């Protein structure tokens, strides 16, 4: 994948503005997430990347921990901008009722302030739906009207009193229509290289090393990979095995037949 050029400073950039981008961040895509990170970086003096659902990890939809998502951003930003300009925060799901629509942004803003940052002046999102909580919380009324101005692929609504802005990316623009973090996760799980089409090269090795081995399909070959260099939890099926016996690399770095009934047994440390 060709490396994108460092983005120019946005002509309306204001060092006093604080731009917020919220994402689950389960695989950062170069065009999708990257477009929104670029925009946060360009329009504000304090760009914030907040990673949601950090209480859920190790699952197919949420493979990475909050700490891993922050680390991926650090790697991406240093490769993309030369340094990391973002303040990264981790958020957890609060499971508020949908009609309590302002509870989520209230929690987000409180977390930002608790971390010594100013309240955001700008929200950067990939769709109007993603903005709905802040539309209510910031008293925008609705985004069903025409935006106050356009900025390339971005539609921008500005509050007439507070000056806060909501920036919505037109995901129909160019290659963005085909960008999917879900597709990238499936590619990693299935051990294909398709994810590299939409993930920055700086993150390839990181995601290969940190994607939970137990979530990936079994490796195949004539013999099991070297246990000293293979991630714990990796599964393996030997070529030509008529029984398709699944082997798994356990924490002591020994390949053992996988017996899921044993995985439900009483812990050996529970003496």
Is pLDDT at 7 greater than 80 in this prediction? no
**Residue 162: closest CA among 18, 13, 46, 22:** 18
Choose between 14 and 1: higher pLDDT.
14
pLDDT at 6: 54
DSSP 93-127: -----TT-TTHHHHHHHHHHHHTT-PPPSEEEESS
Q: Please, which residues bridge with residue 157 across strands?
A: 166
- pTM listed for this prediction: 0.84
Dump pLDDT digits (tens) for 235-266.
999 999 999 999 999 999 999 998 876 665 55
**CATH code of the region 14-178:** 3.40.50.620
Dump pLDDT digits (tens) for 104-161.
999 999 999 999 999 999 999 999 999 999 999 999 999 999 999 998 889 999 999 9
Least confident of 32-36, 82-86, 175-179: 175-179
The domain ranges of the chain are: 14-178, 218-271
Residue 201 three-state SS: helix
Choose between 11 and 89: higher pLDDT.
89
Q: How does residue 31 score in pLDDT terms, banded at 50, 70 and 90?
A: confident
Dump pLDDT digits (tens) for 145-199.
999 999 888 999 999 999 999 999 986 655 455 568 899 999 999 999 999 999 9
pLDDT at 262: 65
Residue 37 three-state SS: helix
Is pLDDT at 268 greater than 70 in this prediction? no
The residue-averaged pLDDT of 56-76 equals 96
pLDDT at 263: 63
Is pLDDT at 24 greater than 90 in this prediction? yes
Residue 163 three-state SS: coil
């Amino acid at each position: 994948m060709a490396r994108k050029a460092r983005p120019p400073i946005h002509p309306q950039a204001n060092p006093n503005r604080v731009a917020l981008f919220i994402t689950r961040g389960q695989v950062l895509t170069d065009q999708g997430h990257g477009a929104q990170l670029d925009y946060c970086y360009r329009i504000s003096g304090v760009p914030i990347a907040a990673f949601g659902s950090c209480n859920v990890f190790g699952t197919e939809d949420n493979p990475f921990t909050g700490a891993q998502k922050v680390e991926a951003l650090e790697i991406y930003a240093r490769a993309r901008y030369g340094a990391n300009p973002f303040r990264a925060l981790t958020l957890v799901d609060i499971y508020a009722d949908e009609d309590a629509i302002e509870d989520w942004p209230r929690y987000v803003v409180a977390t930002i302030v608790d971390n010594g940052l100013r309240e955001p002046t700008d929200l950067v999102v990939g769709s109007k739906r993603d903005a709905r909580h802040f539309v209510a919380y910031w008293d925008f009324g609705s985004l069903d009207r025409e935006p106050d101005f356009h900025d390339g692929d971005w539609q921008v609504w500005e509050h007439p009193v507070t000056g806060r802005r909501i920036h919505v990316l037109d995901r129909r623009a160019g290659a963005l229509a085909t960008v999917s973090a879900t597709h990238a996760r499936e590619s990693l799980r299935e051990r294909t290289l398709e994810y590299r089409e939409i993930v920055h090269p700086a993150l390839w090795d990181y995601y290969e090393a940190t994607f939970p081995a137990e979530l990936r399909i079994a490796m195949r070959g004539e013999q099991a990979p070297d246990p000293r260099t293979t991630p714990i939890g990796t599964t393996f099926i030997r070529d030509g095995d008529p029984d398709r016996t699944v082997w798994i690399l356990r924490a002591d770095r020994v390949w053992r037949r996988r017996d899921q009934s044993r995985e439900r047994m009483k812990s050996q440390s529970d003496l």
